[in-house]
Amino acid sequence: MDILTVLPSDFGYVIFIYLYSWIMLAYLAVKVGAARKKYGVKYPTMYSDKEHVFNCIQRAHQNTLEVYPQWLVFQTIAALVYPLSASVLGAIWVTSRFSYAWGYYTGVKIGFRHLDMNMLPFSFIHVALHSLLVLGMRPC
């Protein structure tokens, strides 16, 4: 069985979103590396006891790495049925991660006590991708 016969014809857009997400991950990693140098935080130390801003830069990257695997799963499965919708949602998610990181880098706490407003776009995208999965299920 040829892989091209299984994938939808618009799946190429999803591949571009994966590439865009890898660029985002590389960007966040480079920012952590530059912050390590600037604030003098040596490996293997994850967080600094003295530099709050370094911790924010590190945490933005770490948080992205924590949710990235589940996003990849949702993105891939949804894209098998709805490649264009999944690609649009994926582009929004990746772009939102840039925005999230830039806000986190400031070190300023924003949002409500029990509901971080920065997380709403990511929650929306996860729910939307999950909805596409459910809608895409077809009985055998």
Tokens of 24: 């985002």
Portion of the chain with pLDDT greater than 70, in percent: 75
3-136 folds as: Four Helix Bundle (Hemerythrin (Met), subunit A) (1.20.120)
Mean pLDDT of all residues in 123-132:
64
Tokens of 86: 């999944």
- Tell me the average pLDDT of the chain: 82
- pLDDT at position 139, please? 43
Name the most confidently modeled range: 26-40, 41-55, 116-130: 26-40
Please tell me whether residue 17 adopts helix, strand or coil conformation: helix
| Higher-scoring residue by pLDDT: 6, 97 | 97
- pLDDT at position 12, please? 93
| Distance separating alpha carbons of residues 77 and 108, to the nearest angstrom | 36
